[in-house]
Amino acid sequence: MKYAGLLVMPAGFFLTIAALILFPAPAPRAAFVVCGLAVELLGLAVAVRGHMEARGESRP
Amino acid sequence: MNPAPIAPVMPAAIFALTLALLLLAPLAIAGVALINTGLGRSRSAAQSLLGNLAIVAVTAIVFAVAGAAWAGTTGLVDHSFQLAGKPWNWLGAGRLMLGGFGSAPPQTQLALLFEFLAVALAALVPWGSGADRWRLSAGCASAAVLAAIVFPLMAHWVWGGGWLAQLGVNFGLGAGFVDGGGAATVHMLGGLSALAVVWIAGSRKGKFPKEGFSTALPGHNAAYVLFGCLLALVGWLAWNVAGAVIWLHAPLAALPATAVNTLLSASGSLAATFTVTRVRFGKPDASLCANGWLAGLVASSACAGLITPGQALFVGLVTGIATPLLVEVLELALSIDDPSGAISVHAVGGLLGLLAVGIFVSQEGQLVAQLVGIATLLGVILPLVYLLFRLLNRVVPFRVDPDGERIGMDLHELGGGAYPDFVIHRDESYR
């Protein structure tokens, strides 16, 4: 689960890069950059969740 | 391979001033080292402080051998490619072993000196998070990886005329991604590396018992921590003013304001953390207040040279409210054992400072440029650091064996403690 989250994070980064290239107008560019960041935060949340589950299983 | 744009020529007086400031900047490193040690346990104090020293040495050697060539600075050659009709400058192409350093222009030499200090501080940040279970050899190996690969990439993108710095020229996003004092390149990078270390090394034995809440394992020396905060202030003042000269090309008249903003950000943050902990726990918490102070300094690294004193105070207040709450959330809700609070202090403090630049600098597209920089740290640097550290963990295991954790890192790794007159008590969690 942690790896899945860490794979989603670069996907969000590529979304921000795509926004720079594909949208010259400021408003849609900013919106897609924010969407890219949101995808990264989602990936981070999944990775943190994966860490919590792994910790729960290995508690003494 | 392309020559990068040439930085403006620096007058001799400003060169001398900046060099003097950079000679004071290691006090920030000393302060962080004391904070890392004080927030760990007494039976690991000597290993912690030796680790801080060793990490500074390892990063200096590795950065000199290879990292500096790839980090590059404005005015040196670089590697670029074309995408969608724009140049994407992604890696420096300098000479290994600091070739040509002596004959480089003065401002290039200052920039390299700044980067030497920056990489040391960036590598020290995760050391505090791995306290009491991260082996010394693994800490040094991780510092070498950061100095050889990760820091040079980020430093080139932000400070070496790389693609993040060129966002303004290529895409009309303000002045491009701006980070005058290393909030991204040093602190967010260090804080995210700390998260990777905590994930890989795991929590300290007994921190999260099967039943009930997490166990409090308080730092062993609040005096070290608070004195470290005072040392860090001196270092940060020098660091931010030198950064404003080198990376933002600030005029002399703007430098006192940069120093005042640094102080105000830290002060506002301390006041806010003091109040929050006073309200939540009935008394102010010394270690959380230290975290708040440091987080204010970290946030100022991004924005001190660019905002007004009132805005700096506001940034400090927001940072000071967020820091203690985040420390609590990470530990209690997310099971992240971070003894030095580096993730909250450096990663989140740096993030708030970088956002403040985008919000308060009234240049069109600046906020988007800052968001792209933050997205790069989260989407590229964190996964890259985690992958590299995970691979490194197979070669040099991060976590000390259970016996080492039981007797303490000092006795296990060094054969002697920092406080030989003290009686080492048996840990209750091992009964």
Task: Pick the range with the lowest mean pLDDT from B2-11, B57-66, B81-90, B230-239.
Answer: B2-11
Mean pLDDT throughout B299-316?
A: 97
Residue type, B233: L
Q: Cα–Cα distance between B270 and B278 in angstroms, integer?
A: 12
Confidence (pLDDT) at B431? 47
Res B429 pLDDT > 80: no
- Token digits for B397? 């295991």
Count CB neighbours of B20 within 10 A.
Answer: 11
Mean pLDDT throughout A6-25?
A: 96
Judge contact between B106 and B130, C-beta under 8 A: no
Which residue of B344, B354, B372, B406 to mutate against A (max A Cβ within 10 Å)?
B372
Confidence (pLDDT) at B428? 52
- B366, closest residue in chain A (CA to CA): A30
Confidence (pLDDT) at A54? 80
Confidence (pLDDT) at B423? 65
ipTM: 0.96
Task: Pick the range with the lowest mean pLDDT from A9-23, B12-26, B209-223.
Answer: B209-223
CB contact under 8 A, B368 and A59: no
Confidence (pLDDT) at B313? 98
Q: What is the mean pLDDT of chain A?
A: 92
Among the partner residues B334, B368, B386, nearest to A6 by beta-carbon distance? B386
Residue B79 has φ and ψ, to the nearest 5°, of -100, 135
Q: Label residue B166 left, alpha or beta by phi (over 0 means left) and psi (-120 to 50 means alpha).
A: alpha
Res B220 pLDDT > 60: yes
CA B29 to the chain's CA centroid: 10
Long-range contacts of A23-31 (CB under 8 A, 24+ apart): A26/B364, A26/B365, A26/B368, A29/B368, A30/B367, A30/B368, A30/B371
Confidence (pLDDT) at B211? 75
Confidence (pLDDT) at B6? 52
Size of interface A-B (CB pairs under 8 A): 80
Which of B184, B237, B196, B181 is CA-nearest to residue B31?
Answer: B237
Q: How confident is the model at residue B192 (pLDDT cuts 50, 70, 90)?
A: very high
Judge contact between B295 and B319, C-beta under 8 A: yes
Cα separation values, B64 from B147, B246, B348, B425, Å? 9, 20, 29, 43
Task: Pick the range with the lowest mean pLDDT from B61-70, B73-82, B317-326, B377-386.
Answer: B73-82
Global pTM reads: 0.95
Confidence (pLDDT) at A48? 94
- A56, closest residue in chain B (CA to CA): B210
CB contact under 8 A, B378 and A14: no
Res B3 pLDDT > 60: no
Interface of A with B (CB under 8 A): 2, 6-7, 9-14, 16, 20-21, 26, 29-30, 33-34, 36-37, 40-41, 44, 47-48, 51-52, 55-56, 58-60
Percent of chain B with pLDDT over 90: 84
Residue B374 has φ and ψ, to the nearest 5°, of -65, -40
Q: What is the DSSP letter of B63?
A: I
